A and B are shown apart, each in its own frame.
Chain A
């Protein structure tokens, strides 16, 4: 009898869930058309970004740029008709195993194309899911070459890691006069490991020596690694890791009185790192896509947007410091609109076919795609933290081949 009750209850639960599931898909539709007057056409853009996990903070800032752009330009002209643009979100949790199910979630919501992700590993993991669905994806700040290599559906608007690694290595060798570098990355993180490899290549070419090391996921003890670097006599510490880890590295370095500077990649350009370094004597240099002040109109606009919207402010980490990824997210949104206009339709295949020809002048520079689908970009900004005032200071701008 008890078993029978259990079975019945289980069934009731299941049917309740079915009902919920149905109302869910219905709910999404309703949600999509709610802001628009009835009868208006809607085009959906998938936002494939981490909202949780160790890159969550970065993903939220990138999404913020897209939301700001969407609030600025909520409609697009496609084939002579005005469409409302709806952003559809899926949280890839900064982890490669959740990425696939987040991607299939976007696919099932009939988006025209996908923007994202922050973090190369998740982009690579989800790549085939988008490919099988015939969707084009535009990477915003995933810098690993593997994202776009060997496929025709993944594009990106940022520079690549071989470039970034070289810029950082040259800066370390020429400006910081380092001859020995200690590189630390997360085990199994495509982004970290790739950048470390490219940095190593360039730094060794410049005559330096490199020690590489990896730490396991969810590690929180970085003092061992920093001590190791100290012990090995490293003159610079290069750690192209996610935001969560970089803040820990900075705060643990602060207590260990290290004298070598820390080099970070684009992930370090985040106000959480800024907060961690505030008031300490840790030297931090990072490469990034955009430096505050690059486009005053955008700076003012996004600051006003962040300050007027408490959710946005929370997403931005509680203040109005502009992250480069926000600017990139902003540009990505407009690139997507350009692609939709060029395609003249909301059909994913048409958008995919139109993307290679899209050009756009964004706040982070001019964007156009090369044969592999990468943006033709040759500029990286180097910033450092002014730990006394807790602000980013622009150091220099590096171009390829310099």
Chain B
């Protein structure tokens, strides 16, 4: 029982962390029709930055600075690597995303000298707590709550602000919204900023749970978060969150059995099943050009 509870708990918290990454994927895909392969690496870079900054300044200063820098990184990546290719075929943009991912990983490798970095212990959320007899961290409890709050805030932003309306318009029809006078580049930048911010928050929570950062830390969570976004229906934020929780929980449960080798493969099996059976995902809008 205690085993089951602790597995479910770590599954929920892992799912919440995937959800924060998945939102970035789903928003970018919704607007640009681009699988932003570099998103998982932005998440990893947030972790690396936190490691280095916390070594030289207090935690309370380094957390906001890390959030700002990660947002900046996301913004710069979009401006430098995706914007010049706005008119190019989709494949070129995707290749550029793969290139950025490769670059970020190698930069992290260079910065860390290839040594796994230990993530700093954050006050409070790193403390232990016992839930239903299962010992865990506060971060496990906080993650789902935080995810729900952030998603609600994001939904409000999308549905009730001007920039949110612009985002919906761009996601619906790129060219027409441009003709309607929407500043496409601004909308896209805001999307990347929101995505990177959530990835940075996700990295705070994720690395508190699993406190080692290596250059490849972002690759797998990134891909899984993308699968979560597809599972929930690409473009749909609640869908991505629910997909992420399902993937997080099932993955942790698989790790509790003797089939641990398949804990990563499961995610991709799920992806393929979804793509073949219900390509629009759980909550995706029906669109003819998507799959």
Chain A residues with a Cβ under 8 A of chain B: 51-54, 56-57, 91, 93, 187, 213-216, 218, 220-221, 223-225, 227-228, 230-231, 244, 247-248, 251-252, 255-257, 276
B129 nearest in chain A by CB position: A255
B255 touches A221 (CB 8 A): yes
A225 touches B114 (CB 8 A): no
Q: How far is the CA of A4 from the CA of B79 in the complex (A)?
A: 27
The yes or no answer to B155 lying at the interface (CB within 8 A) is no
The yes or no answer to B258 lying at the interface (CB within 8 A) is yes
Q: How far is the CA of A308 from the CA of B7 in the complex (A)?
A: 48
CB contacts (< 8 Å) of B7 on chain A: these are 224, 227
A255 touches B128 (CB 8 A): yes
A218 and B216 in contact, given A223-B6, A224-B7 (Cβ under 8 angstroms): yes
5 A-B interface contacts by CB (under 8 A): A56-B115, A218-B219, A223-B10, A228-B255, A252-B210
B253 nearest in chain A by CB position: A224
B118 touches A227 (CB 8 A): no
B137 touches A244 (CB 8 A): no
By Cβ-Cβ distance, the 10 closest A-B pairs, closest first, are: A52-B114, A231-B3, A220-B210, A244-B116, A224-B255, A257-B135, A227-B6, A56-B115, A56-B114, A218-B216
A255 touches B137 (CB 8 A): yes
Shortest Cβ distance from B170 into chain A, in angstroms?
31
Contact of A221 among B14, B114, B261 (CB under 8 A): B14
A228 touches B3 (CB 8 A): yes
How many inter-chain contacts with C-beta < 8 Å in the A-B complex? 85
CB-contacts of B4-48 with A (<8 A): 6-7, 10, 14
Q: How far is the CA of A56 from the CA of B117 in the complex (A)?
A: 11
The yes or no answer to B113 lying at the interface (CB within 8 A) is yes
Contact of B214 among A216, A218, A221 (CB under 8 A): A218
CB contacts (< 8 Å) of B264 on chain A: these are 216
B258 touches A52 (CB 8 A): no
The yes or no answer to B209 lying at the interface (CB within 8 A) is yes
Contact of A93 among B114, B135, B212 (CB under 8 A): B114
CB contacts (< 8 Å) of B92 on chain A: these are none
Contact of B2 among A218, A231, A251, A252 (CB under 8 A): A231
B256 touches A54 (CB 8 A): no
The yes or no answer to B272 lying at the interface (CB within 8 A) is no
Q: How far is the CA of A256 from the CA of B128 in the complex (A)?
A: 8
CB contacts (< 8 Å) of B114 on chain A: these are 51-53, 56, 91, 93
B221 nearest in chain A by CB position: A220
Q: How far is the CA of A253 from the CA of B188 in the complex (A)?
A: 43
Q: How far is the CA of A215 from the CA of B251 in the complex (A)?
A: 13
The yes or no answer to B103 lying at the interface (CB within 8 A) is no
Q: How far is the CA of A77 from the CA of B217 in the complex (A)?
A: 48
Q: How far is the CA of A227 from the CA of B116 in the complex (A)?
A: 24
CB-contacts of B257-289 with A (<8 A): 258, 260-261, 263-264
A248 touches B210 (CB 8 A): yes
CB-contacts of B202-224 with A (<8 A): 209-212, 214, 216-217, 219-220
Q: How far is the CA of A383 from the CA of B246 in the complex (A)?
A: 43
A224 touches B10 (CB 8 A): yes
The yes or no answer to B182 lying at the interface (CB within 8 A) is no
A213 touches B260 (CB 8 A): yes
Q: How far is the CA of A251 from the CA of B109 in the complex (A)?
A: 23
B6 touches A216 (CB 8 A): no
The yes or no answer to B236 lying at the interface (CB within 8 A) is no
A220 touches B217 (CB 8 A): yes
A216 and B260 in contact, given A221-B210, A227-B3, A251-B211 (Cβ under 8 angstroms): yes
Shortest Cβ distance from B218 into chain A, in angstroms?
10
Q: How far is the CA of A218 from the CA of B26 in the complex (A)?
A: 25
The yes or no answer to B143 lying at the interface (CB within 8 A) is no
Q: How far is the CA of A239 from the CA of B224 in the complex (A)?
A: 27
Among A57, A215, A255, A257, residue most surrounded by chain B Cβ atoms (within 10 Å): A255
CB contacts (< 8 Å) of B134 on chain A: these are 227
Shortest Cβ distance from A254 into chain B, in angstroms?
9
B258 touches A216 (CB 8 A): no
Contact of B252 among A54, A220, A221 (CB under 8 A): A221
A54 touches B116 (CB 8 A): yes
CB contacts (< 8 Å) of B220 on chain A: these are 218
